[in-house]
Amino acid sequence: MTSSRRRPVQARSVAALVLWAGVPALALLSIAACAEADATEVDAGDSSVVARPPPTDEASILDGGAEAEAEASLPPCAVGNLCGVPLPLSIGHVVAMAGRSKNDVWASASRGELLRWDGQTWTKADSGGLDTFSNLFITPDELWGVSGNLVMRRGLEASSVRSFRLRERFIGMTGIAVLPSGEPYVSFGATWNTTDPHDYLAKIQDFDTKTIQVVAAPVDPSTDRPLAMAARALWLVPDEALWLVGDRGRVVRYSVSPVGDGVVIPLDSQVDLFAAWGEGTHLWAGGSNGTILHFDGAAWHRETTGASATINAIFGFSSTDIWAAGDDGTILHFDGTTWSTVPVAGYAGHLRTIWGSAPDDVWIGGELAMFHWGALP
């Protein structure tokens, strides 16, 4: 096992623009402004760089009333029910969520939309720009988000929004987690103008001076070389571990308090993994073809779900109460013994994020839709 190496990296205002928009019914227009790059830097306007861009079939949601049909077909919000909840969105995806309580939940959506649930309604909040945050993390007094090469933090007041952009190659941030000590870590699924695939975890050393420290890639025991990885999800088990999962069945566990050397958790599969949730020494990871895998601290187990659509999100409260969601309106629930399908009548959009404050207060978001399990005021 090698010791951790950390390299300071000075960040400055650098951006890449991918502005994705659509119009209802008969036309769907995508606009992208690509940054020009030389050997050392990239300059562009402010917007988002999404590691896994949304699909281009949103016309099926806009023209055909899938969202309205789903809301009309679902029962009202009540104990043991899944219901549809209105959003102040006219187009796009709910991409990520995080919350402090049942009356304080945040969600990011396409085109830089930031939404907040106050216990009564979802309303828009200021995100500071057009960046679509691929991941959110919440602390008792701040909300953090990452998008492409942008790191954002804010309190409850819109005037508290602060952000900075990483330089050159660091543009594909896919996750963020803030340790109990206050140290923020970010994961990367892509880099710009570099062939080094080993820089996929970094500590934000100093937000004000825009400095990060790259954490060394762990050694792959099968090759005795640093593991190459495109990290697609980052999950923190406080005081226990930072987990990274990614393409081709890559899984890495970092000890925390403090963050130490990463350990490769070998997986006998090449499936792409996009979601992770864990507690203690256990991890559940989801990915392509309906795959859900469980690591029990010693060995991997493939879960039987009956699903075939890609799993984009996993969230749980215990080993006997876990939710998963993915493409084609797929929602699954695990009760400790069996994975069962939770139907969403009339909805076939792609679902991307899950968060809940309690077993009877679970939010699931995706294409032009937000669903809730349990009663609401």
For residue 353, being part of any structural domain is answered with yes
Tokens read off for 49: 């760089």
| Residue 293 is assigned to a structural domain of this protein | yes
What is the domain range of residue 237? 6-373
Question: Is residue 351 domain-resident?
Answer: yes
Residue 146 is encoded by which pair of tokens?
């990452």
Q: Is residue 42 part of a domain?
A: yes
- The model's pLDDT over 315-342, given as tens digits with 9 standing for 90+, comes to 999 999 999 999 999 999 999 999 999 9
Long-range contacts of 315-321 (CB under 8 A, 24+ apart): 315/277, 315/354, 315/355, 315/356, 315/362, 316/277, 316/279, 316/284, 317/356, 317/358, 317/359, 318/279, 319/279, 319/282, 321/359
Predicted local confidence at residue 345, as pLDDT: 86
State the pLDDT at residue 164: 93
pLDDT tens per residue across all 377 residues of the chain: 433 334 444 433 333 323 233 333 323 333 333 333 333 333 333 333 233 333 333 333 333 344 555 555 678 899 999 999 999 998 889 999 999 999 999 999 998 999 999 999 999 999 988 899 999 999 999 999 999 999 999 998 889 999 999 876 667 899 999 999 999 999 999 754 455 688 899 999 999 999 999 999 999 998 999 999 999 999 999 999 999 999 999 999 999 988 988 999 999 999 999 999 999 999 999 999 999 999 999 999 999 999 999 999 999 999 999 999 999 999 999 999 999 999 998 899 999 999 999 999 999 999 999 999 999 98
Look-up of token digits 């990060």: 212
Percent of the chain past pLDDT 70, that is, above it, reads 78
Tally of domains within the chain: 1
Q: What CATH code is carried by the domain that includes residue 212? A: 2.130.10.10
pLDDT for 74? 79
| β strands within 40-149, DSSP E | 42-43, 82-84, 94-101, 104-109, 113-117, 122-125, 135-138, 143-147
Decide if 76 is inside a domain: yes
Residue 1, in any domain of the structure: no
What pLDDT sits at residue 170?
A: 65
The pLDDT, as a whole number, for residue 253 is: 98
pLDDT at 271: 96
pLDDT at position 268 is 93
